[in-house]
Structure 1
Amino acid sequence: MLKTIHPLINAELLTVLAEMGHGDELVIADRNFPAESVAAETVSGLCIQLAGVDATEAARAILTLFPLDTFVDTPVQTMAVVGDPAADIEVHRAMQAVMDEAEGRAVGMEKAERFAFYEAAKKAYAVVRTTEARPYGNFILKKGVVFD
């Protein structure tokens, strides 16, 4: 056990977060996302399992260590609702609140069409699969810089 590291951050996830650099992206996926097949095409090829954790819990833990990119307007991407891309759904609002709180600022988040999201996710560094039950609980986070 390590001090000050959130207990949801396991050794595999800690290693991935430490390996990632500015501009690298991390996918946080729900239980319905094709996480293993997408992860196989990512930079690391890794799908890290966080069982018993929803997307917002996972993000809250990850964002204790992971800065979001401040050099882009929208460092977070989410999957738009099929057939209603402008839909404002609860899981997206909840994630927005988690990100804003973690960063202490309003964080930009853009929506991507389902298949465009899959393609973007394949270019990420790794995938974190949660057991998020809310549909469209999928997010891509762009890593920023730690300024001392």
Structure 2
Amino acid sequence: MKKSTLINADLSYLVATLGHTDEITICDAGLPIPDEVTRIDLALTHGVPSFLETVSVMLSESQIEGVIIAEEFVTVSPECHQALLSELKADEERSGKSIAIQYVSHEEFKVRTQDSRAVVRTGECTPYANVIFQAGVVF
């Protein structure tokens, strides 16, 4: 559910039309995106926009109750993984609602993206910098 103002029309529409438990994938520049899922491609060049910038904006716009992350992210890109966890913790503190974190293999993650309402592609080039947001409710 939408919480504030977002400039990107496609992302704003997506957030405004989310229902409880709908999923959105935010991914790095290399994640394969299923043909049957809506692609919102923000990537301009390597690193722009970054995964964490995109995560931060999406957290400011929508209530999230759970995330799904690839297990490989923890060991291959630990700094980016920790930064994601910090963003999630900060959102929990702002909203007063907890965010459940589930880890799956990268292969399972890629299959799970098929259930997303949309995949938001960033310019991020950090391996496994991907997350699936599960929409919560603001009440």
Q: TM-score, normalised by structure 2?
A: 0.83
Note the 1:1-148 alignment, pairs <5 A: 5-6=5-6, 9-35=7-33, 38=34, 40-41=35-36, 45-51=37-43, 52-69=48-65, 75-81=66-72, 87=75, 89-104=78-93, 107-147=99-139
Relative to total residues, which structure has the larger helix share, 1 or 2?
2
Alignment check: 8 A CA contact 1:29 1:138 kept: yes
Distance across 2 between alignment mates of 1:29 and 1:16: 16
CA RMSD of aligned residues (A): 1.9
Answer 1 or 2: which has greater strand percent: 2
CA contact (8 A) 1:76 1:109 kept: yes
SS state at 1:63 partner: helix
- How far residue 117 of structure 1 moved from its aligned partner, in angstroms, is 0.6
In 2 relative to 1, CA 86–132 (structure 1 residues): closer, same or farther, beyond 3 Å?
A: closer
SS at match of 1:136: coil
Q: Count matched residues.
A: 128
CA distance in 1, matches of 2:54, 2:11: 11
Unpaired stretches in structure 1, ≥5 consecutive residues: 70-74
What is the rounded CA distance, in whole Å, between the counterparts of 1:126 and 1:86 in structure 2?
Answer: 24
Quote the offset at 1:108 in angstroms: 3.0
**CA shift at 1:103, angstroms?**
2.5
Residue 56 of structure 1: CA displacement? Answer: 1.0
Q: CA deviation at 1:24?
A: 0.2
State the identity %. 30
Could you tell me the TM-score, scaled by structure 1's length? Answer: 0.78
Structure 2 stretches of 5 or more lacking a match?
none
